Homo-oligomer: A and B are copies of this chain.
Amino acid sequence: MAGSVNIRDVAAMAGVSVATVSRTLKNPDLVRPATREEVLRCVAALGFVPNAQARHFRRQATDTVILLVRDISNPFYLDVFKGVEDVASSAGYKVLMGDARSDPARVHHYIDMVRERHADGLILMTGSMPVELDDAGLPPMVVALEYLTTRHLPTVRIDNEGAAAAATRHLLGLGHTAIAHLSGPVPEVMSVARVAGWRRALVEAGVPPDERLEVRGDYSLASGEAAVDALYDRGVPFTALFASNDEMAAGAINRLRARGKRVPEDVSVVGFDDTIFAAVCNPPLTTIRQPQREIGVEVMKLMIERLEGLLAPDATVVVPTELVVRASTAPAGQR
């Protein structure tokens, strides 16, 4: 590689000091135009590429942030990444995407990477956090969509309970009353909030929530399929199902179909997230849209504030969600 050319070589060739070369590249205004052009000529002639490592080392910054997601297999994070990257690149930052695989040990690993100054900060989209770390040793971190009960960190979030209530009210408005809910893993704050929203909407509509209509999943396609079986095993009839993400909703629809049920004629289904699954789904899924890209944009903005200036440790941005009605829901009693 031509990378072996360094700033001294350029300085020697141009007959100036290394400082002048550095300034030409970084603060051209401080250099006389004639000198500047001569330097640039030499830079080009030698194929000089400044060594980012040396630069970062000198400045004690890497201009890189890590976006750590719960499980990279979930396409949900793809547009978040784009939002993060858009903001990052226009502010001169690079983004490294990491996969926690829902494993606290892996989260720890990434935290260490930042502590070793591999990156300047960490954007967490992971619910689990190693408990053995003391706050003092933590690098700059911000959180999106997850809830870390143990710490106070700047966060981008949505109103999970409100969104779940909106989804449920949509079904109530179509005349459904036997509305099942397929939740995420339950000790988690996010899942609990959505369960609460589902319950609240039912109660407000005068429909007593039936615990037997609440099934737990793990956000996977397979758990959506299993949930349908579990519901039929319990023998409590239902005409609508609100799932806590699109992937489980898709699994549920496939399983309902396999059992000879029509969607939405026999059972209406609502998802959550509005990922690509909602579009691939047949019929296209009614769902709660989370503005993934905007979430990425906002959380990266928080990260920059955190890195560049001070930011209140409990700063919070709430982004709005939206019910998107497609073809997987229909009025009750159509059969």
Contacts and interface: CB of A to CB of B under 8 A. Distances in A.
A174 interface: no
A147 B97 CA distance: 25
Contacts of A3: 115, 117, 139
B137 A1 contact: yes
B115 A99 contact: no
Interface in A91-138: 94-97, 99, 112-113, 115-118, 136-138
A307 B81 CA distance: 28
Interface string A156-191: 000000000000000000000000000000000000
B97 A97 contact: yes
A274 interface: no
Given A1-B137, A81-B99, A137-B1, A253 B276 contact: no
Contacts of A257: 282
A79 interface: yes
Contacts of A236: none
Interface size bracket, A side: 35 or more
Given A94-B96, A115-B1, A78 B73 contact: yes
Interface in A53-111: 53-54, 56-57, 60, 62, 64, 72-73, 75, 78-79, 81-82, 85, 94-97, 99
B117 A51 contact: yes
Interface string A255-273: 0010000000000000000
A74 to B, nearest CB: 8
Contact of A2 (B54, B112, B117, B137): B137
Nearest to A47: B137
Contact of A250 (B50, B221, B280): B280
Contact of A276 (B97, B118, B136, B221): B221
Given A73-B276, A81-B97, A253-B282, 10 more contacts: A1-B138, A3-B115, A53-B116, A64-B118, A94-B96, A96-B96, A96-B97, A221-B280, A250-B280, A251-B280
Interface of A: 1-3, 47, 49-54, 56-57, 60, 62, 64, 72-73, 75, 78-79, 81-82, 85, 94-97, 99, 112-113, 115-118, 136-139, 221, 247, 250-251, 253-254, 257, 276-277, 279-282, 284
24 contacts: A1-B138, A2-B115, A3-B115, A3-B139, A47-B137, A49-B116, A53-B56, A72-B81, A72-B82, A73-B82, A75-B75, A75-B276, A81-B99, A82-B99, A94-B113, A94-B118, A96-B97, A97-B97, A221-B279, A250-B280, A251-B280, A257-B282, A281-B282, A282-B282
